[in-house]
Structure 1
Amino acid sequence: MIAPKPMSRPDRVSPWRYLQLFRRDILSAQPERLYKAWMAEFRTPFFRSYLANDPALVHTILRDRPRDFPKSSRIGEGLRPLLGQSVFLTNGPAWERQRRIIDPAFERGRLAHALPAMWEAGQAMVARVLDQIGDGTEIEVEEIASHAAADVIFRILFSIPIEDETAAQVFHEFRAYQRSQPILNLAAFVPLPRWMPRFHRAETKRAALKIRSLITRLVEDRGRAIATGTAPDDLATRIMTTPDPETGGCFSAEEMVDQVAIFFLAGHETSASALAWALYLCAAAPEWQSRIATEADSVMQATEVKRLTTSRDVFRETLRLYPPVPMMVRQSTKSETFRNRAVPKAAQLVLSPWHLHRHTRLWDAPDAFDPARWQTEAARQSARDAYMPFSAGPRVCPGAGFAMAEGPLLLSLLLRAVTLTPMPGKVPQPVAHLTVRARDGIWLSAHPRGHADTATAGSTDG
């Protein structure tokens, strides 16, 4: 099955047209040649940008010399109203201090504490969907995935379900933020001085302010519970009580608000994107959907998530085809020479999981949905060279282990309860906003599994 992919732009367009296309959708704004190029250069009146697809270059930038290539501040301009000085946006000593405090809470052994929360959120998701579909109906799965992922992150962070009043308000406001916030604003293209105001949409600023005020309430309540010894042992408590091993200081309440904002963005938005695409791919490939459902029938509790090997391969393949964060941008701190090409200081270096994961020189049948590839040595080698849905090196997502447990678990729980089939004429078209989503949502036909009227799934090529 060929997974839907956006049409590429013509190879040559004017800088102004490129800017227009980029603001609308960064995926379709790129030329087709990037799926086979090792390196490409883009010039604008304000900066030079270089796409690095060569695995050796990616390794140099992310793993060998990460301090020489900090995150570009331009990409974070559009997210600053919500994320403040969170770990996602900082560099240097500030980022190092934040990771020293955050990383212990995400250590592998901590995953066991998160699994019951994931299981409870998954069961709640299944109950909502079964109630919604009755004997069978059309559903939009991005909304379902967003609701479930938000439920997971609130249960893991603050031990509250999405039905909690404050959690529900944050989820509602975040949906408004998603609709109003483009992935890039003017400052991503034009190097504005620090004193110059940033031009954010009024609705974006309103939603960000409301979200931060709600998070502040949660953080202050947790601080009081920690002080009285009544706080639950969840992610928020662990992070708020972990001192920096070098200075002995913990996050202030304001710093914690910044971190919770990125945990919610990363733990909710990216997980929802991946789960929604996984559900679509399984609907379009019914043999894999059936295998997941059969496998899930033998899993009766959260601690058995490791047995979901088929679901894990499907989720890995989904992250290959639809990495939630399609591009990452670093900035050179000095002049470099990459592949015999001069790269000036302050150049923007684009690392694109979207192109790496579909690169014609690195993957067999790169646009095909084929979870079986993950049991082959060829795919394992490609993964070592060109698979980074959670980034790589020191800045790898600290919640990657959580995501690789949550995604397969939610996918399995839903598919053992529900049969999904594609809607005729409704092939989703990927676009990149905050994450890779479908332009008009992902609409599928859903029936309770085993229901007599369940339609037979057909193949879908995009």
Structure 2
Amino acid sequence: MIPPKPPSRPDRVSLRRYARLFRQDILSAQPARLYRAWMAEFRTPFFRSYLMNQPELVKTVLKDRPADFPKSDRVSEGLRPLLGNSVFLTNGETWKRQRRIIDPAFEGGRLRETFPAMWDASEAAAVRLPEGLVEIEEQTSHAAADVIFRTLFSIPIEDALASAVFHEFRAYQRSQPILNIAAFVPLPRWMPRFFRRDTRASAARIRALIAKLVDQRAKEIAEGTAPDDLATKIMTTPDPETGETFSPEEMVDQVAIFFLAGHETSASALAWALYLLALFPDWQEKVAAEAVALKDCDFAVMSKLPVTRDVFRETLRLYPPVPMMVREATCPERFRDRDVPKGSQLVLSPWHLHRHERLWERPDEFDPARWQTENGKTCGRDAYIPFSAGARVCTGAGFAMVEGPLILARLLRDARVSCAEGRVPIPVAHLTVRSKGGIWLQIGKR
């Protein structure tokens, strides 16, 4: 049984049709040959871009020479209204300064310190999970948002302000793709960027709500009553080189990306993981058996969930939440005997790399056991980038690999999931890889 993936377009289509397909869904807008290609060039009268699947090329761009291939400014075209000048979008010295302030909050023992908040969120998610026919993406979005608010601001999702951010973000999530056509079309810098009116308005409302949370925390810090959570840590950490902390506006930018990266991506992965376990009940039973160990809030319990962790890793392989990343060549290059002009867009696609037919054994199959094989271990090192890689690897990667398996196991300790008849989810790329029409499952008690 092969889990669903979107259809591919024919190899040759007109630019007009490609643009139309791209606006509908960037995954199904790509040709099937990309699952075998080491490198592919997209050339039009207006722009040139290159998709890179060869592990050596991916390593060059992300790990060996990241300064030569900064994040493309075009990625920010669609996300700037929400994310402002956040660490997800910046480059150069600005990005380095932001990482110097943010990274200490996620180092070493901080995962242990945030674990009780994750535990409480997983318990709450298990209690909330209804029986019967359920759209599971809504449930996982709720759970992942709860984790973010508890770990970042020490408030549960039920808090009025947290709840308002969550519901506003749900509306935004469906209206804005992670990449828009501007990521590939080199519009002149002077040309105004147009966004859907509801998308821009929703982004403004989210930022206004986040600003209230930041203002409240700033007052608590000043009064000496702030809890020792991620927000306090980040807001009080000075840049070791300049001694400056984030301004309130900068903190709003960073909280926006924490919410996007920490909530949206985890919600996507958890929903697909539950669907895959409904599709493969033998693996579901293995996860449920491990979940019996979840009795007390103790970080050490994570070592008792190796199968659940492999299930989550396999889900991230098949359905990477961020399916494509774009870098820009700052100088002329030559890759695989092709001249790559300065300014070219370099597309790194976890979606295609993770399913590459010349790298992975049975690339479209769901098999968590592959991570213990030689092929799985090799590809895990060379062809697996759900959190990016190199200097710009996601700060919260370790956080996500605790949160995901914990919530997945906790839900399946009490619940049994099965596929809903006639409802096969089709992956599409919105802010993350979600399903067109949601993911519907039958939920029962275990």
TM-score scaled by structure 2? 0.98
Aligned counterpart for 2:432 among listed residues 417, 435, 438: 435
Unaligned ranges ≥5, structure 2: none
* 1:419 partner SS: strand
Cα pair 1:23 1:184 within 8 Å, conserved: no
CA deviation map 1:43-99 (0-9, x unaligned): 123210100001000000000000000001112110000000000000011001000
Shift, 1:197, TM fit:
2.5
Q: Structure 1 residue 168 and structure 2 residue 136: aligned?
A: no
Distance 2:31 2:112 in 1: 44
Structure 1 partner of 2:414:
417
Shift, 1:180, TM fit:
2.0
Letter in 2 for 1:47: F
* 1:49 partner SS: strand
CA deviation map 1:223-275 (0-9, x unaligned): 11111111001000000011111111000010000000000000000000000
Q: Structure 1 residue 361 and structure 2 residue 348: aligned?
A: no
Shift, 1:113, TM fit:
1.2
Distance 1:271 1:142 in 2: 10
Structure 2 partner of 1:127:
127
Structure 2 partner of 1:157:
152
Aligned counterpart for 1:279 among listed residues 266, 274, 280: 274
Report 1:23-34 matches (<5 A). Answer: 23-34=23-34
Shift, 1:186, TM fit:
5.3
Shift, 1:189, TM fit:
4.1
* 2:417 partner SS: strand
Shift, 1:119, TM fit:
0.8
Unaligned ranges ≥5, structure 1: 450-462
Q: Report % sequence identity.
A: 70
Q: Structure 1 residue 327 and structure 2 residue 314: aligned?
A: no
Cα pair 1:275 1:407 within 8 Å, conserved: yes
Aligned counterpart for 2:243 among listed residues 222, 234, 248: 248
Distance 1:151 1:182 in 2: 23
Structure 1 partner of 2:39:
39
Q: Structure 1 residue 217 and structure 2 residue 212: aligned?
A: yes
* 2:342 partner SS: coil
Shift, 1:299, TM fit:
2.2
Letter in 2 for 1:160: I
Structure 2 partner of 1:264:
259
Shift, 1:195, TM fit:
4.0
* 2:425 partner SS: coil
Q: 1:285 to 1:186 in 2, by over 3 A?
A: closer
Q: 1:353 to 1:111 in 2, by over 3 A?
A: same
Q: Structure 1 residue 21 and structure 2 residue 21: aligned?
A: yes
* 2:109 partner SS: helix
Structure 2 partner of 1:297:
292
Structure 2 partner of 1:116:
116
Structure 2 partner of 1:80:
80
CA deviation map 1:173-197 (0-9, x unaligned): 1011112223344533443344432
Distance 1:284 1:313 in 2: 16
Cα pair 2:184 2:345 within 8 Å, conserved: no
Cα pair 1:186 1:199 within 8 Å, conserved: no
TM-score scaled by structure 1? 0.95
